[in-house]
Amino acid sequence: LAINVYRNGQWGCYRHFKLHEDPRYESTTNHCFANCVKPGDLSSFTWMVGPLSEQPPTSPLVKVVYSSLNFKDVMIATGRLSIETFCTDRLQQECILGFEYSGVTATGKRVMGIINAGCMATLIESDTLFTLDVPDGCTLEQAASIPTVYATVYAAFFICSHIRKGNSILIHAGTGGIGLAAIRVCLAYGLEVFTTVSTKEKREFLLSYFPDLNPNNIGNSRDTSFETLIKERTDGRGVDFVLNSLSEEKLQASIRCLARGGHFLEIGKYDMMKDSKLAMALFQKGITFTAVLVDLLFKEKRDLMQVLHKLIVEDISKGIIQPLPTTVFQAHEIEQAFRYLATAKHIGKVVLKIRDNEDDLASVPISYLPRVYCNPEQSFVIAGGLGGFGLELADWLIIRGCRKLVLSSSRGITKPYQQYRINTWHTYGVQVLISTEDISTENGCRRLLQQAIQMGPVAGIFNLAVQLRDAIIENQSVDKFAECLAPKATATHHLDLISRELCPMLKHFVVFSSVSCGRGNAGQSNYGMANSIMERIIEHRVAQGLPGKAIQWGAIGEVGIVADMQEDKIDMEIGGTLQQRLSSCIQVLDQLLTTAEPVVASMVVAEKRSSSGGAKNIVEAVMNIMNIRDMKSVSVESTLADIGMDSLMAVEIRQVLERDFDIILTPQDLRTLTFSKLQKLADAKAENEAVEAATQQLQLEDLLASFGDEAASHHTVLRLPSKCNDLEYDRPVLIIPGIESVCSPAWTKIASEINAPTFMLQTFARATDEQTIAGIVDTVFDEMFETVFAKVEQFLVIGYSFGSLLALEIVKRLEARSLQGKLMLIDGSPLYLQRFASHH
Per-residue pLDDT at 836: 58
Check residues 341 and 705 and name the one with the higher pLDDT: 341
Q: φ and ψ at 542, to 5 degrees?
A: -65, -40
**Can you tell me the mean pLDDT for 474-485?**
85
Per-residue pLDDT at 699: 60
Distance CA 788, CA 806 (A): 16
Picking from 275, 276, 273, the residue whose alpha carbon sits closest to that of residue 254 is: 276
- CB-side neighbour CA atoms (13 Å) of 393: 29
Secondary structure of the chain: what % helix, strand, coil (to 5)?
Answer: 45, 20, 35
Report whether pLDDT(174) > 70: yes
**Can you tell me the mean pLDDT for 505-513?**
96
Confidence of residue 231 (pLDDT cuts 50, 70, 90): very high
Per-residue pLDDT at 258: 95
Check residues 59 and 632 and name the one with the higher pLDDT: 59
Per-residue pLDDT at 611: 41
- Tell me the fold of 710-837: Rossmann fold (3.40.50)
- Tell me the fold of 165-289: Rossmann fold (3.40.50)
| CATH number at 379-605 | 3.40.50.720
Per-residue pLDDT at 477: 85
Report whether pLDDT(199) > 70: yes
Per-residue pLDDT at 798: 94
Q: Which of 16-20, 56-60, 542-546, 717-721 has the highest mean pLDDT?
A: 542-546
Share of the chain above pLDDT 70, in %: 90
Q: Which residues share a beta bridge with 550?
A: 511, 599
Report whether pLDDT(612) > 50: no
Report whether pLDDT(78) > 90: no
**Can you tell me the mean pLDDT for 299-308?**
86
Residue type at 541? R
**Can you tell me the mean pLDDT for 581-599?**
91
Per-residue pLDDT at 571: 56
Confidence of residue 25 (pLDDT cuts 50, 70, 90): confident
Distance CA 329, CA 68 (A): 10
Picking from 179, 74, 220, the residue whose alpha carbon sits closest to that of residue 646 is: 74
Confidence of residue 123 (pLDDT cuts 50, 70, 90): very high
Q: DSSP letters of 677-739?
A: HHHHHHHHHHHHHHHHHHHHHHHHHHHHTT---GGGTT-SEEEE--S---SS-SS-EEEE--T
Residues 781-804: pLDDT tens digits?
Answer: 999 999 999 889 999 999 998 889
Question: Do residues 760 and 769 make contact, with C-beta atoms less than 8 angstroms apart?
Answer: no
Report whether pLDDT(119) > 90: yes
**Can you tell me the mean pLDDT for 158-176?**
94
Q: DSSP letters of 358-383?
A: TT-SS-S-EEEE------TTSEEEEE
Per-residue pLDDT at 565: 54
Per-residue pLDDT at 615: 47
CA distances from 267 to 169, 173, 718 (A): 15, 12, 83
**Can you tell me the mean pLDDT for 444-467?**
96
Per-residue pLDDT at 833: 60
Check the CA dihedral 418-422-425-430 and report its sign: positive
Per-residue pLDDT at 573: 60
Residues 30-59: pLDDT tens digits?
Answer: 899 999 988 888 888 999 999 887 777 778
Per-residue pLDDT at 320: 95
Confidence of residue 604 (pLDDT cuts 50, 70, 90): confident
**Can you tell me the mean pLDDT for 317-341?**
94
Look at 402-416, 804-818, 822-836 and tell me which has the smallest mean pLDDT: 822-836
CA distances from 209 to 175, 177, 187, 348 (A): 10, 13, 12, 11
- Tell me the fold of 618-704: 1.10.1200
Q: Which CATH class is domain 24-145+323-369?
A: alpha beta
Residues carrying CATH 3.40.50.1820, the chain: 710-837
| pLDDT, the chain, mean | 87
Distance CA 41, CA 335 (A): 10
Confidence of residue 663 (pLDDT cuts 50, 70, 90): confident
Report whether pLDDT(830) > 70: no
Report whether pLDDT(309) > 50: yes
Distance CA 502, CA 231 (A): 79
Residues 422-439: pLDDT tens digits?
Answer: 999 999 999 999 999 999
Residues carrying CATH 3.90.180.10, the chain: 24-145+323-369
CA dihedral 581, 587, 589, 595 (to 10 degrees): -120
Per-residue pLDDT at 448: 97
Per-residue pLDDT at 265: 96
Report whether pLDDT(603) > 80: yes
Residues carrying CATH 3.40.50.720, the chain: 165-289, 379-605
Picking from 105, 109, 114, 117, the residue whose alpha carbon sits closest to that of residue 51 is: 117
Per-residue pLDDT at 535: 94
Confidence of residue 599 (pLDDT cuts 50, 70, 90): very high
Per-residue pLDDT at 610: 43
Looking at residue 789, the DSSP 8-state letter turns out to be: I
Check residues 719 and 55 and name the one with the higher pLDDT: 719
Looking at residue 134, the DSSP 8-state letter turns out to be: P
**Can you tell me the mean pLDDT for 160-164?**
94
**Can you tell me the mean pLDDT for 533-542?**
95
Looking at residue 220, the DSSP 8-state letter turns out to be: E
Please give the model's pTM, rounded to 2 decimal places: 0.70
Looking at residue 133, the DSSP 8-state letter turns out to be: E
